[in-house]
């Protein structure tokens, strides 16, 4: 904790929280699919002196002086992002994935225009048109769903009929809790038929795309990709918008991000993005991305062997969604609390057409990006899945829970969080 020596001296209360979080992460396993462990290099960039600098505008076109080094790091981030995702344009200033989606909507749409996106209960994201978001007061969102939650097949025929009927300006692919790969060609085909933009929110699978472990939507003709820069991409918390080839679209997006919706970019965060993108360009990142998939499949097989229902029947990516209430008579909320107590962090999650509420749903969502960063392979991931099942099956037995907690601590000591990813 020497890196926090100044905080320790100046503000013991904040230091105590940081120290506690460091201990929690070191002694427990992170299975939330949207979380990961960044390298020390990324953390150093994120806490760098660049936090002092206001840099409104874009490289070479700033409103303030003194931009030599901010231009340098933002240009590096842009060029590395373009190379990672085979994009012609990249905006790296958005503060998060939600911000990226909001900027994309306002750049491409007028109030009242329609967006066709995935239903939240079938795997979509809040910013894809859930009624609780303010976006739904501005734009009209219509939704598509899975044809069969047990296979994960999207009802593309119904999606097409909805598109023909509602004439969306954006056909939006992407998800936050969908374990399968989408048929990108179908999305593009439907978008072209109704004259819509084809947009993919790759926040969850950006690292898998960059690591060439899953398909790149741009190869199928998508116009835009929005994303976070953390999760599987293993960078700092932030967002990004990528444009495949249209300069007109890219200019609209840049103008909407700044000055449309945001002020000065967080240059320390952009520097951290550049470092993370540099890591993702290394050969080792492709090995990492491939292992994420292997590990997720290993965990899914254990759950299936115990007859625990998995939404979509398994996984093609980094995450798994399990119906624990239907299979083990434990709610998602109780499972989250129980597993957290034994050192396994995941999140409660609604399942398709869930009869329970979102704060106490039927499912749990978990994944393998973070434990793969800790160098877990299939054997270790299968063991973690076994411990999860036993913990839920024998939740009334304190001695069992204690033994699981001890085993998790032992695994964490054998697989510490690495300081470097290259």
Q: Is the peptide bond before 259 cis (omega within 30 degrees of 0)?
A: yes
Q: What is the pLDDT of residue 28?
A: 98
Q: Do 378 and 241 belong to one domain?
A: no
Residue 419 counted as domain residue: no
pLDDT value at 222 more than 70: yes
Asked whether 211 and 286 are in contact (CB, 8 A), the reply is yes
- State the residue range of the domain holding 66: 44-280
Distance CA(174)–CA(227), nearest Å, equals 10
Q: Do 96 and 125 belong to one domain?
A: yes
Q: DSSP E strands: which ranges in 188-340?
A: 197-201, 224-228, 239-243, 319-323
* Residue 208 is labelled as binding a ligand: no
Asked whether 384 and 407 are in contact (CB, 8 A), the reply is no
Q: Do 268 and 358 belong to one domain?
A: no
User: Residue 95 has which token pair?
Assistant: 């503060």
As annotated, the active-site residues are: 54, 56, 201, 228, 231, 237
Asked whether 77 and 277 are in contact (CB, 8 A), the reply is yes
* Residue 310 is labelled as binding a ligand: no
Position 1 confidence tier, pLDDT thresholds 50, 70, 90: low
- Could you tell me what percentage of the chain is helix, strand and coil, using 3-state DSSP and rounding each to the nearest 5? 50, 15, 35
Residue 21 counted as domain residue: no
Distance CA(65)–CA(55), nearest Å, equals 8
pLDDT value at 328 more than 70: yes
The runs of H, that is alpha helices, within 115-217 are 156-166, 184-194, 206-210
* Residue 126 is labelled as binding a ligand: yes
Q: Which domain-ending residue is among 233, 260, 280?
A: 280
Asked whether 250 and 261 are in contact (CB, 8 A), the reply is no
Summarised one tens digit per residue, pLDDT across range 100-145 is: 999 999 999 999 999 999 988 888 888 888 888 999 999 999 999 9
Q: Do 328 and 266 belong to one domain?
A: no
pLDDT value at 45 more than 70: yes
Which candidate, 197, 131, 202, places its Cα nearest to that of 169?
Answer: 197
Q: What is the pLDDT of residue 131?
A: 85
Position 3 confidence tier, pLDDT thresholds 50, 70, 90: confident
CATH number of the domain to which 408 belongs: 3.90.1150.10
Quote the number of domains for the chain: 2
Summarised one tens digit per residue, pLDDT across range 167-207 is: 999 999 999 899 999 999 999 999 999 999 999 999 999 99
What is this structure's pTM?
0.96
Asked whether 142 and 202 are in contact (CB, 8 A), the reply is no
Position 293 confidence tier, pLDDT thresholds 50, 70, 90: very high
* Residue 124 is labelled as binding a ligand: yes
Asked whether 256 and 103 are in contact (CB, 8 A), the reply is yes
Q: Do 227 and 307 belong to one domain?
A: no
Q: What is the pLDDT of residue 422?
A: 86
* Residue 6 is labelled as binding a ligand: no
Q: Which phi-psi region, left, alpha or beta, contains residue 247 (left: φ > 0; alpha: ψ -120 to 50)?
A: alpha
Q: Do 237 and 118 belong to one domain?
A: yes
pLDDT, mean of residues 210-234: 98
Q: Which domain-ending residue is among 223, 250, 280?
A: 280
Q: What is the pLDDT of residue 42?
A: 98
Q: Which domain-ending residue is among 280, 310, 327?
A: 280
Q: Do 264 and 402 belong to one domain?
A: no
* Half-sphere exposure at residue 253, Cβ-oriented, CA atoms within 13 angstroms: 27
């Amino acid at each position: 904790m020497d890196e926090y020596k100044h905080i320790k001296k100046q503000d013991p209360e904040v230091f105590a929280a940081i120290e506690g979080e460091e201990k929690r992460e070191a002694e427990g396993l992170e299975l939330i699919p949207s979380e990961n462990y960044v390298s020390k290099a990324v953390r150093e960039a994120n806490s760098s002196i660049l936090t002092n600098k206001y840099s409104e505008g874009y490289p070479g076109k700033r409103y303030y002086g003194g931009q030599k080094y901010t231009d340098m790091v933002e240009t590096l981030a842009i060029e590395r992002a373009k190379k990672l995702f085979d994009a012609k344009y990249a905006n790296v200033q958005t503060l998060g994935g939600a911000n990226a989606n909001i900027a994309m909507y306002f750049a491409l749409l007028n109030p009242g225009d329609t967006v066709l996106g995935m239903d939240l209960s079938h795997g979509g994201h809040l910013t894809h048109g859930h009624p609780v978001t303010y976006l739904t007061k501005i734009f009209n969102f219509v939704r598509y769903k899975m044809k069969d939650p047990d296979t994960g097949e999207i009802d593309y025929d119904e999606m097409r009929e909805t598109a023909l009927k509602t004439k969306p300006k954006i056909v939006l692919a992407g998800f936050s809790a969908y374990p399968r790969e989408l048929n990108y060609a179908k999305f593009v085909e439907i978008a072209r038929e109704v004259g819509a933009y084809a947009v993919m929110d790759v926040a969850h699978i950006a690292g898998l795309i960059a690591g060439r472990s899953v398909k790149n939507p741009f190869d199928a003709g998508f116009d835009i990709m929005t994303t976070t820069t953390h999760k599987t991409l293993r960078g700092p918390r932030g967002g990004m918008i990528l444009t495949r080839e249209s300069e007109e679209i890219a200019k609209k997006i840049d103008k909407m991000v700044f000055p449309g919706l945001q002020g000065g970019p967080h240059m320390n965060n952009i520097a951290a993005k550049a470092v993370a993108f540099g890591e993702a360009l290394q050969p080792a990142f492709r090995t990492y991305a491939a292992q994420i998939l292997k590990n997720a499949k290993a965990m899914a097989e254990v759950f299936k062997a115990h007859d625990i229902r998995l939404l979509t029947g398994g996984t093609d990516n980094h995450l798994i969604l399990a119906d624990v209430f239907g299979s083990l008579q434990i709610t998602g909320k109780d499972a989250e609390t129980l597993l957290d107590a034994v050192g396994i962090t995941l999140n409660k999650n609604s399942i398709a057409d869930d009869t329970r509420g979102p704060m106490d749903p039927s499912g749990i969502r978990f994944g393998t990006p973070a434990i793969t960063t800790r160098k877990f392979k299939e054997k270790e991931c299968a063991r973690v899945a076994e411990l999860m099942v036993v913990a839920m099956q024998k939740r009334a037995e304190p001695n069992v829970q204690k033994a699981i907690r001890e085993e998790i601590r032992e695994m964490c000591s054998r697989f510490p969080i690495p300081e470097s990813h290259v």
